[in-house]
């Protein structure tokens, strides 16, 4: 009941704000990569599998299809729940719905990440964005566009290596969020969640995953391998990020979409 009331309050708040929830007037953007055998996973994770149970006409004369799938929690477009890197924090099924839906801001660091594939979002990047758009609003979802989504499907370009196994982890190279920026966001700003278009909120060369630890201590979940962030404005969109509800899960597949209301 508490979650229903909180979600109702969220909808009412959005309706009464500058975000008019008239879904007939605006643009929907799918921020989710599809799942298939080609979906990018961490080098040590098992790949996505989709196998046929039945496909075709049954003995009774009607068409029928059914499939089995298996997947690691952390691959493709997915959510990291705080328990993933901090003990006694929210599992994926415990994250409040209202924390996964909300007004969104997008910080673009694509040019910096193009010059340095291990670039990390810095506090100065946040402050530069705020100098143009104002302080990040309370209870926003923060998404970071590193320009990586265009490499999806090419493991070498996207994550620095197409190799698999533990040795491949040392060769990973992609942008992330600097721990100092994570501290700033978790103590100086009030965000619901953070996401970006790379395999991890920590940069590819990280060995201690400090950004995960800092944000997850505050129960701020992370969205990884988000798609199409270049289609979102810096402000004004509303994100809906609903994961598979895995009991006790450290994460799971995520269907994330954004709505951009017409002005």
Q: What is the per-residue pLDDT across 87-144, written as a single tens digit (0 to 9) for each?
A: 999 999 999 999 999 999 999 999 999 999 999 999 999 999 999 999 999 999 999 9
Residue 183 lies in a domain: yes
User: Over 50: is that where the pLDDT of 18 sits?
Assistant: no
Structure confidence by residue, pLDDT tens digits, 68-77: 999 999 999 9
Residue 48 lies in a domain: no
pLDDT > 90: what percent of the chain? 90
> Do 92 and 252 form a contact (C-beta atoms < 8 A)?
yes
> Do 145 and 109 form a contact (C-beta atoms < 8 A)?
yes
Residue 15's pLDDT is: 41
Helix, strand or coil, per DSSP, at residue 168: helix
Residue 7 lies in a domain: no
Domain of 229?
Answer: 22-34+73-261
Residue 207 lies in a domain: yes
- The set of residues, in sequence order, having a beta carbon less than 8 Å from that of 128 and lying 6+ positions away, is none
User: Over 90: is that where the pLDDT of 8 sits?
Assistant: no
Residue 232 lies in a domain: yes
Residue 238 lies in a domain: yes
Residue 1's pLDDT is: 53
Of the candidates 256, 263, 38, 1, the residue with the CA atom closest to the CA atom of residue 143? 256
Residue 105 lies in a domain: yes
Total domains in the chain come to 1
pLDDT mean over 160-185: 97
User: Over 60: is that where the pLDDT of 239 sits?
Assistant: yes
Of the candidates 195, 225, 199, 226, the residue with the CA atom closest to the CA atom of residue 102? 195
User: Over 50: is that where the pLDDT of 224 sits?
Assistant: yes
Beta pairing partners, 46: none
Burial (Cβ within 10 Å: 0-12, 13-18, ≥19) of residue 247 = exposed
- As a whole number of angstroms, the distance between CA 137 and CA 250 comes to 28
Residue 147 lies in a domain: yes
pLDDT band at 24 (very low <50, low <70, confident <90, very high): confident
- As a whole number of angstroms, the distance between CA 243 and CA 253 comes to 6
Tokens describing residue 18: 């500058």
Tokens describing residue 202: 């920590």
Burial (Cβ within 10 Å: 0-12, 13-18, ≥19) of residue 45 = middle
Structure confidence by residue, pLDDT tens digits, 134-164: 999 999 999 999 999 999 999 999 999 999 9
């Amino acid at each position: 009941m508490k979650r229903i009331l909180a979600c109702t309050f969220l909808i009412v708040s959005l309706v009464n704000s500058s975000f008019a929830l008239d879904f007939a007037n605006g643009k929907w953007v799918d921020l989710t990569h599809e799942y298939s055998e080609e979906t990018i996973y961490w080098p040590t994770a098992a790949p996505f599998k989709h196998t046929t149970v039945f496909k075709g006409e049954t003995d009774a004369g009607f068409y029928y299809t059914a499939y089995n799938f298996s997947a690691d929690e952390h691959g493709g477009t997915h959510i990291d729940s705080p328990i993933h890197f901090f003990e006694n924090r929210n599992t994926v099924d415990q994250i409040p719905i209202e924390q996964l839906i909300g007004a969104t801001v997008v910080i673009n660091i694509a040019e910096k990440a193009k010059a340095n594939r291990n670039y990390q979002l810095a506090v100065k990047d946040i402050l530069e964005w705020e100098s143009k758009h104002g302080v990040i609003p309370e209870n926003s979802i923060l998404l970071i566009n590193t320009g990586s989504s265009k490499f999806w499907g090419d493991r070498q370009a996207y994550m620095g290596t197409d190799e698999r196994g533990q040795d491949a982890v040392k060769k990973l190279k992609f942008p992330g969020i600097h721990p100092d920026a994570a501290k700033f966001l978790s103590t100086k700003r009030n965000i619901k969640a953070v996401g970006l278009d790379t395999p991890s909120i920590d940069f590819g060369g990280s060995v201690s995953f400090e950004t995960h630890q800092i944000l997850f201590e505050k129960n701020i979940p992370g969205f990884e391998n988000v798609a199409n962030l270049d289609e979102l404005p810096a402000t004004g969109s509303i994100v809906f990020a609903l994961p598979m509800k895995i009991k006790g899960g450290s994460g799971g597949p995520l269907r994330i979409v954004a709505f951009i209301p017409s002005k």
